[in-house]
Amino acid sequence: GHEHVYYHSEKIRITWQPEYIEPVDTLGAGDAFLTGFMLSLLTAKPSEPSEDDVLRAMTAGGTAARHVLNHYGAFGFGKSYSE
């Protein structure tokens, strides 16, 4: 199943529920989420991001993860164990 994403800072506490999709393969999805999240958050630039900045970053991370989840082998060329 899928889980929530949590963000906690001194001023903000957010629980975000990503949209569930039926994954083809989960390899690399967490890395893709974190990369999309961090790039979005760093682009916002304030030292203390707003709740909207964090939610936008979570959405960006979810979009990046969804792209990976839709490809076998995370990069589109997975191999079976028998090969």
Going from N- to C-terminal start, the domains of the chain cover 5-69
What local confidence, expressed as pLDDT, does residue 13 receive? 96
- Per-residue tens of pLDDT for the chain, all 83 residues: 458 999 999 999 999 999 899 998 888 899 999 999 999 999 987 788 999 999 999 999 999 999 999 888 756 666 676 75
What local confidence, expressed as pLDDT, does residue 78 receive? 65
Phi, psi of 77 (to 5 degrees): -140, 50
Q: What is the residue whose two structure tokens read 């960006």?
A: 60
What local confidence, expressed as pLDDT, does residue 75 receive? 61
Tell me the whole-structure pTM to 2 decimals: 0.81
Phi, psi of 6 (to 5 degrees): -120, 140
Q: What is the residue whose two structure tokens read 């001194």?
A: 10
CA 40 – CA 46 distance, rounded (Å): 12
What local confidence, expressed as pLDDT, does residue 2 receive? 58
